[in-house]
Chains A and B, each alone.
Chain A
Amino acid sequence: MASTTVETREPDSEDPVVELRNASVTYDDGNSYVLDHVSMDVHRHEVIGVIGESGSGKSMLAESMLDSIPDPGVLRGQVRYNPSEGEPIDVLDLTTEELRQLRWEEISMVFQGAMSSFNPTMRVGKHFEETLSAHDADIDEGLAFARELLQDLYLEPDRVLNSYPHELSGGMQQRALIALSLVLEPELLVMDEPTAALDLLMQRSILRLLRELKEKYDLTMVFITHDLPLIAALADRLAIMYAFHPVEIGRTEEIVQNAAHPYTRALLNSTPNLDAPIEEMVPIPGSQPAPINVPDGCAYHPRCPLADEQCRSSKPDYVSVSDRHTSACYHWDDARDEIALNYSENLGDAARSGGDE
Chain B
Amino acid sequence: MQVKHTDSDTDGEEFVFETQTSTVETSRSERLRDFYEEFIYKPGLVALDDSRTLIGGVILFVFILIALIGTRVYPAPVTNQVERSLKPFETMNAPLGSNPSGTDLLAQVIHATPSMLVLVTAGAVFSTFIAVFTGTVAGYKGGRTDRVITTISDIAMSIPGLPLVMVLAVTIKPENPAVVGILLTINYWSGLGRSIRSQVLTLREESYVEASRTMGVSTRRILTKDVIPNLMPYILVNFAFAARYCIFAGVGLYYLGVLPADLANWGLQLDSAYNDYSALVGSGSEYLVIVPMIPIALLSLSLVLLAQGLDRIFNPRVRTRLAGESESIEEDDDDVVHTGGV
CB 8 Å contact bits of A226-261 with B (1 = contact, 0 = none): 100000000000000000000000000000000000
A167–B21 Cα distance when bound, in Å, is 56
- A350 interface residue per 8 A CB criterion: no
- A170 interface residue per 8 A CB criterion: no
B331 touching A58 by the CB < 8 A rule? Answer: no
B331 touching A56 by the CB < 8 A rule? Answer: no
- Stretch from A26-34, A97-105, A117-125, A149-157 forming part of the interface with B: A26-34
B338 touching A34 by the CB < 8 A rule? Answer: yes
Contacts of B331 in A (CB 8 A): 28, 32, 292
Residue from A58, A73, A291 in contact with B341 in the complex, judged by beta carbons closer than 8 Å: A58
A32 touching B335 by the CB < 8 A rule? Answer: yes
A27–B334 Cα distance when bound, in Å, is 10
CB 8 Å contact bits of B318-342 with A (1 = contact, 0 = none): 0000000000110110111011111
A59 touching B339 by the CB < 8 A rule? Answer: yes
Contacts of A290 in B (CB 8 A): 328-329, 332, 335-336
A59 touching B335 by the CB < 8 A rule? Answer: no
Contacts of B339 in A (CB 8 A): 34, 54-60
Give the size of the chain A interface in residues (CB under 8 angstroms). 24
B340 touching A193 by the CB < 8 A rule? Answer: yes
- A192 interface residue per 8 A CB criterion: yes
Residue from B328, B329, B336 in contact with A54 in the complex, judged by beta carbons closer than 8 Å: B336
A55 touching B341 by the CB < 8 A rule? Answer: yes
B342 touching A226 by the CB < 8 A rule? Answer: yes
From B328, B331, B336, B340, residue with most partner A Cβ within 10 Å: B340
A34 touching B342 by the CB < 8 A rule? Answer: no
Contacts of A56 in B (CB 8 A): 339, 341
- A70 interface residue per 8 A CB criterion: yes
A73–B339 Cα distance when bound, in Å, is 10
B342 touching A27 by the CB < 8 A rule? Answer: no
- A213 interface residue per 8 A CB criterion: no
Contacts of A226 in B (CB 8 A): 341-342
A292–B336 Cα distance when bound, in Å, is 11
B341 to chain A, nearest CB (A): 2
Contacts of A55 in B (CB 8 A): 335-336, 339, 341
A305 to chain B, nearest CB (A): 25
For the residues of B in contact with A, the DSSP-based class is helix
Given A290-B332, A292-B328, A292-B332, check contact A53 B341 (CB 8 Å). Answer: yes
A344–B24 Cα distance when bound, in Å, is 54
Contacts of A291 in B (CB 8 A): 332, 335
From A34, A54, A55, residue with most partner B Cβ within 10 Å: A55
A28–B342 Cα distance when bound, in Å, is 24
B320 to chain A, nearest CB (A): 16
- A281 interface residue per 8 A CB criterion: no
Contacts of A22 in B (CB 8 A): none
A192–B340 Cα distance when bound, in Å, is 9
- A39 interface residue per 8 A CB criterion: no
B328 touching A59 by the CB < 8 A rule? Answer: no
A292–B329 Cα distance when bound, in Å, is 9
- A271 interface residue per 8 A CB criterion: no
Contacts of B341 in A (CB 8 A): 52-56, 58-59, 193, 226
A87–B37 Cα distance when bound, in Å, is 63
B332 touching A59 by the CB < 8 A rule? Answer: no
A121–B328 Cα distance when bound, in Å, is 39
- A112 interface residue per 8 A CB criterion: yes
From A28, A60, A226, A291, residue with most partner B Cβ within 10 Å: A291
Nearest neighbor of B328 in chain A, beta-carbon distance: A292
Contacts of B329 in A (CB 8 A): 290
A60–B332 Cα distance when bound, in Å, is 15
Contacts of A34 in B (CB 8 A): 335, 338-339
A34–B341 Cα distance when bound, in Å, is 13
B230 to chain A, nearest CB (A): 26
- A198 interface residue per 8 A CB criterion: no
Nearest neighbor of A111 in chain B, beta-carbon distance: B340
Nearest neighbor of B335 in chain A, beta-carbon distance: A291
- A137 interface residue per 8 A CB criterion: no
B342 touching A73 by the CB < 8 A rule? Answer: no
Contacts of A58 in B (CB 8 A): 339-341
Contacts of A52 in B (CB 8 A): 341
A15 to chain B, nearest CB (A): 29
Tell me the chain A residues, 12-55 only, with Cβ under 8 Å from chain B.
27-28, 32, 34, 52-55
CB 8 Å contact bits of A51-79 with B (1 = contact, 0 = none): 01111111110000000001001000000
- A92 interface residue per 8 A CB criterion: no
* Complex A-B: 27 CB contacts under 8 Å: A27-B335, A28-B331, A32-B335, A34-B335, A34-B338, A52-B341, A54-B336, A54-B340, A54-B341, A55-B336, A55-B339, A59-B338, A59-B340, A60-B338, A60-B339, A73-B338, A196-B342, A226-B342, A290-B329, A290-B332, A290-B335, A290-B336, A291-B332, A291-B335, A292-B328, A292-B331, A293-B328
Name the 9 nearest CB pairs between A and B, nearest first.
A54-B341, A59-B340, A290-B332, A55-B336, A54-B342, A291-B335, A59-B339, A34-B339, A55-B339
